[in-house]
Amino acid sequence: MSTGTTGLTTPPRLGRGGAGTLVEGDAPTGSARRRNPNRRMRWAGLLYLAPALAMYTWVVLVPLVQSANYSLYSWDGVSTPTWVGLGNYGDFFTDPDLRAALGHVGVLICFFSFLPIALGMLTAAIISRRNLRGAALFRSLLFLPQVVTTVVTAVVWKFLYTPDGPINTLLRALGLGALAQNWLGDVTWALPALGVIGTWVTFGFCMILFVSGAQSIPQELYEAARMDGAGPVAEFFAVTLPGLRPQLAVALTLTITAALRTFDLVYVATQGGPGSSTTTPALLLYRKAFQNPDVGAAAAIAVVLAIACLLVAILIQRVTERES
Amino acid sequence: MSSPRVARLVAALALPLTLVAAACAPQAANSGGGNVQPSAVSSDVASAGPVTLRFLDFEEGPDAAYIKKAIAGFEQQYPNVKIERTEQSFDQVMSTLNLRLADPNGPDVATINNGWQSMGTLSKAGLILNLDKYAELYGWRDQLSPTMLRQLEFTPDGKKMGEGSLYGTPGARLTTVGLYYNKKLLTDAGVAVPTTYAEFETALAAVKAKGETPIALGTQEKTYATNPLFALQSLLGSPKAINDFVYGSGGTTLEQTGLGTAAAKLAEWQKDGYLNPGYNGLDFDGGKKVFTDGKAAFHFDYSGALVGTGADSTKFGRVQLPQPDGGAQTSVGAASAVFGISAKTKNPDAAAAFLNYLGSQEMNDLSVQNGYLPIRPSTAQVEPGTTFADEVAGAATVTKDDGFLPFFDWSSPEMLDVIGGQVQLILAGRSTPETLVTDGQKSYDDAAAKRG
């Protein structure tokens, strides 16, 4: 854990290194006699875990298995189901609506994940270089959207985006009236307009994550970098970015899975319209599960989304682990 | 060391999960199928002892006040019955109703929706009572026009809509889709209130020539983007074809229902600049506001559109246009809420008495007093010269001509979404009326194939 010898490229990794060491040090390596008390302790540990584990099984694992099971049937939710095997999964290849929805998620990932992370990094880099006055207030203001319910956010932005709403009024006042749009009602602009709402929501979260991460990067690293003649940009890439790798992994995982699961924002703001220009898989899932009872098809979408989220999480974990 | 541990953990988790999965394989909510009826029915509720009815409905705002008065009136008539009301939004009720009615402790009486996705699914699964015996007991069929009754019928096997047994009652409130106009803007343009579709088009052109906006609408919400289209279809399409298509009673294609013609008309108006600017960025209420603010001459809306908007109802009128051939008065019209009884209720007689009360003469009068259209003839006074008086007169002629049309989206579970999306795209120049017809037909055929 000493920072002096690790050099600039491998900064300390807080939080994870400590826990890892403890677990390994605890692993029994001695004689058989020494293993018994350890084993008993392990079962005792499991006992402590049992209530949480039971709850987790009941509310997460059981519905998960149930959904996977439902996805193999054609079922309206109330009458006798018919076994269709993997037929419901075929929709992903044949249903144009579902494929379009997957494409929309790609766009949303840029707005929900990449853009806020880039902006968050930039802000964190600026804040961590020197103490800005009012930084705390600034941070809380930017974090605020994260606290507000999505439905409220959607309703507010729906108003902002109306033809004579504040955004268009501002554009006209600035002499940019030609750029004014019926944002959420326009086939071209509705999806990016929704994306911007996502950026607004997740930006503050990413920034807080990176600022707190940057605070734990030892000042000496910055001093060393400056002594080597690094400017702000070189300093960012040599010290800040590598130091924020764990935070980056968390931010990527949470924001990408959030984009994959986008439902409430779209449901309230556009209902997937105009046409089907802003549909998401989760919106189609809702429609199939509740409006047009086809529980099997809905469950198939849910299972694919769950697997996609899991893969994203594993992939990001893998990449950041290897680079460290 | 770690891999056997993981294996044991997986085994420990997998065993109960497999058992759970096996036990929870999807099952029909009611294995008996769709024809649940009480063996004996009675209208004697007063001597049934203390009864509590759980009632789930989606009446909010001013509608909630109306339903509360209904409950109070019923409880006064039958002091031994207590109604426990649960109120939620339409979407909430609709998305959970199937599960709630499968629960023995669910509601006894609930608001359900017409069409395949709600009443069709519930009747087929045997989750709501077949009401035929109660309809006979209380004479419900004699109180309603045939085109209204049809909207509440399904065959017990769930294969056909619009015939068979009664699975819901319509309460006392009617909703129609119709054409509102601004009296002053028409006078300014030098045109009289249209009495035919041709005169309506002349009026549109005259208003436009005067430099005013002919039609106010808001199409940002997909669901409500269908409103002007369905209204136009009821004016331009054949009522028989629309009924036959929606109820699936034989060989009619979507093309024959006039929906494509209506869509082409809408596209033409858009091209001619007849629509309010920014209509695609406004939701339905936003479009309505353009009209009530006096910025457009015409507006298609549901009856009761001006209730609660603060608009001066003497400045606006509503006109019921006849079919182009000068024939019957037709209008898209349905009960504003349909009430059904859970098949799991322990008090079907009390529940049926409540349904009967919801459609009683008192409730129809109460409906009129609150500014809503009644389903049955009402003796309550209507102030002449108001928009509401126009609405009442229009509904009366449609009732007389038995010209109620079902909402077109009942024809398939996804129809509303398909058509609403297509309207948005057509108005944006990204789709054509022909595509709307093809996509709508496909949704209809897919749904029919699925029902078998």
Q: For B101-145, how does the pLDDT look when each residue is reduced to its tens digit (9 = 90+)?
A: 999 899 999 999 998 888 988 998 899 999 999 999 999 999 988
Report the residue from A69, A185, A271 with minimal CB separation from B281: A185
Convert the pLDDT of each residue in B261-278 to its tens digit.
Answer: 999 999 999 999 999 999
- My answer on whether B124 and B229 are in the same domain is no
pLDDT band at A126 (very low <50, low <70, confident <90, very high): confident
Angle value at C-alpha A286, between B301 and B439, nearest 5 degrees: 60
Top residue of A43, A291, A294 to mutate, by most chain B CBs within 10 Å, is A291
- The fraction of chain A above a pLDDT of 90, given in percent, is 51
- My answer on whether B125 and B243 are in the same domain is no
Q: What is the pLDDT of residue B424?
A: 96
Enumerate the residues of chain A whose CB falls inside 8 A of the CB of residue B125.
76, 78-79
Chain A residue with Cα closest to B418: A275
- My answer on whether B330 and B204 are in the same domain is yes
What's the maximum distance between 2 C-alpha atoms anywhere in chain A?
83
When pLDDT is averaged across residues A125-144 and rounded to a whole number, the result is 77
Window from A51-65, A123-137, A246-260 with minimum mean pLDDT = A123-137
- My answer on whether B342 and B329 are in the same domain is no
Enumerate the residues of chain A whose CB falls inside 8 A of the CB of residue B413.
291-293
Q: Regarding beta strands B109-112 and B81-87, do their DSSP bridges make them parallel or antiparallel, or are they unpaired?
A: unpaired
Q: By the CB < 8 Å criterion, does A81 face chain B?
A: yes
- Residues spanned by the domain of B264: 177-334+390-450
Strand partners, B175: B334
pLDDT band at B318 (very low <50, low <70, confident <90, very high): very high
Residue A87 in 3-state DSSP?
A: helix
Check B430 against A187: CB less than 8 A apart: yes
- What phi, psi does A85 have (nearest 5°)? 60, -130
Check A186 against B281: CB less than 8 A apart: yes
Q: Report domain extents, chain A.
A: 100-300
Window from A76-80, A94-98, B167-171 with minimum mean pLDDT = A76-80
Top residue of B344, B417, B435, B443 to mutate, by most chain A CBs within 10 Å, is B417
CA distances from A315 to A83, A205, A253 (A): 33, 22, 9
Q: What is the pLDDT of residue A321?
A: 76
Q: Work out the mean pLDDT of chain B and round it to a whole number.
A: 90
Q: What is the pLDDT of residue A130?
A: 65
- The alpha carbon of residue A186 is apart from the nearest alpha carbon of chain B, in Å, by 7
pLDDT band at A141 (very low <50, low <70, confident <90, very high): confident
Q: By the CB < 8 Å criterion, does A46 face chain B?
A: no
CA distances from B202 to B103, B192, B214, B217, B412 (A): 56, 10, 11, 19, 35
Does position A42 have pLDDT exceeding 80, yes or no?
no
Check B28 against A164: CB less than 8 A apart: no
- What phi, psi does B277 have (nearest 5°)? -60, 140
Check A78 against B424: CB less than 8 A apart: no
pLDDT band at A223 (very low <50, low <70, confident <90, very high): confident
| Residue B74 placed within a domain | yes
When pLDDT is averaged across residues A141-164 and rounded to a whole number, the result is 90
Within chain A, strands assigned E span 73-74, 82-83
- What phi, psi does B321 have (nearest 5°)? -85, 145
- My answer on whether B185 and B130 are in the same domain is no
Enumerate the residues of chain A whose CB falls inside 8 A of the CB of residue B158.
79
In sequence order, the 6+-apart residues with CB closer than 8 A to the CB of A226 are A235
Q: What is the pLDDT of residue A21?
A: 36
- The alpha carbon of residue A227 is apart from the nearest alpha carbon of chain B, in Å, by 46
**DSSP designation for B192:** P
pTM (global) more than 0.90: no
Q: What is the pLDDT of residue A91?
A: 83
pLDDT band at A190 (very low <50, low <70, confident <90, very high): very high
pLDDT band at A39 (very low <50, low <70, confident <90, very high): low
Check B95 against A291: CB less than 8 A apart: yes
From the list B421, B409, B368, B406, the residue with the least C-alpha distance to B151 is B406
Q: What is the pLDDT of residue B183?
A: 96
Q: By the CB < 8 Å criterion, does A66 face chain B?
A: yes
Check B21 against A66: CB less than 8 A apart: yes
Check B99 against A292: CB less than 8 A apart: no
Does position A313 have pLDDT exceeding 80, yes or no?
yes
- My answer on whether B330 and B347 are in the same domain is no
- State the angle between helix axes of B239-247 and B227-236 in degrees (0 to 180), rounded to the nearest 10: 120
A vs B, Cβ pairs < 8 A, gives 139
Enumerate the residues of chain A whose CB falls inside 8 A of the CB of residue B13.
57, 61
In sequence order, the 6+-apart residues with CB closer than 8 A to the CB of B263 are B229, B422, B423, B426, B433, B436, B437
| Residue B99 placed within a domain | yes
Helix (H) or strand (E) holding B173: strand B173-182
- The fraction of chain B above a pLDDT of 70, given in percent, is 93
B300 vs B298: CA distance, rounded Å = 7
Strand partners, B342: B128
B254 vs B241: CA distance, rounded Å = 9
Report the residue from A68, A163, A295 with minimal CB separation from B282: A163
- My answer on whether B401 and B435 are in the same domain is yes
Convert the pLDDT of each residue in B4-50 to its tens digit.
Answer: 565 565 555 555 555 555 555 677 766 556 688 888 899 999 888 99
Check B420 against A186: CB less than 8 A apart: no
Convert the pLDDT of each residue in B50-96 to its tens digit.
Answer: 999 999 999 887 788 889 999 999 999 999 999 999 999 888 898 88
When pLDDT is averaged across residues B288-292 and rounded to a whole number, the result is 96
Does position B151 have pLDDT exceeding 70, yes or no?
yes
Scanning the structure block, which residue is given the tokens 């974990």? A317
Q: By the CB < 8 Å criterion, does A47 face chain B?
A: no
Q: What is the pLDDT of residue B238?
A: 92
Check B26 against A75: CB less than 8 A apart: yes
Count of domains for chain B: 2
CATH number at residue B357: 3.40.190.10
Check A293 against B121: CB less than 8 A apart: yes
Q: By the CB < 8 Å criterion, does A292 face chain B?
A: yes
Does position A10 have pLDDT exceeding 70, yes or no?
no
Residue B154 in 3-state DSSP?
A: strand
Enumerate the residues of chain B whose CB falls inside 8 A of the CB of residue A279.
none
CATH superfamily of A100-300: MetI-like (1.10.3720.10)
A1 compared with A208, residue with greater pLDDT: A208
Does position A120 have pLDDT exceeding 60, yes or no?
yes
CA distances from A172 to A151, A169, A190, A196, A217 (A): 28, 5, 20, 20, 45
Convert the pLDDT of each residue in B417-451 to its tens digit.
Answer: 999 999 999 999 999 999 999 999 999 998 888 88
Q: What is the pLDDT of residue A36?
A: 61
| Residue B160 placed within a domain | yes
Top residue of A91, A159, A271, A284 to mutate, by most chain B CBs within 10 Å, is A271
Give the CA count within 13 Å in the CB-facing half-sphere of A40: 4
Check A291 against B117: CB less than 8 A apart: yes
Enumerate the residues of chain B whose CB falls inside 8 A of the CB of residue A61.
13, 17
- The alpha carbon of residue A278 is apart from the nearest alpha carbon of chain B, in Å, by 11
Chain B residue with Cα closest to A83: B26
- My answer on whether B113 and B138 are in the same domain is yes
Q: What is the pLDDT of residue B26?
A: 73
Spacing of C-alpha A134 from chain mean position: 28
Q: Work out the mean pLDDT of chain A and round it to a whole number.
A: 84
Window from A69-73, A112-116, A215-219, B208-212 with minimum mean pLDDT = A215-219
Interface confidence (ipTM) of the complex: 0.84
- My answer on whether B137 and B277 are in the same domain is no
When pLDDT is averaged across residues A314-319 and rounded to a whole number, the result is 90
Check B278 against A163: CB less than 8 A apart: yes
Enumerate the residues of chain B whose CB falls inside 8 A of the CB of residue A186.
280-281, 428
Report the residue from B27, B28, B280 with minimal CB separation from A274: B280
Q: By the CB < 8 Å criterion, does A87 face chain B?
A: no
pLDDT band at B287 (very low <50, low <70, confident <90, very high): very high
Q: By the CB < 8 Å criterion, does A169 face chain B?
A: no
- My answer on whether B225 and B141 are in the same domain is no
Check A275 against B16: CB less than 8 A apart: no
Does position A35 have pLDDT exceeding 70, yes or no?
no
Convert the pLDDT of each residue in B299-308 to its tens digit.
Answer: 999 998 888 8
| Residue B46 placed within a domain | no
Q: By the CB < 8 Å criterion, does A57 face chain B?
A: yes
Does position A258 have pLDDT exceeding 70, yes or no?
yes
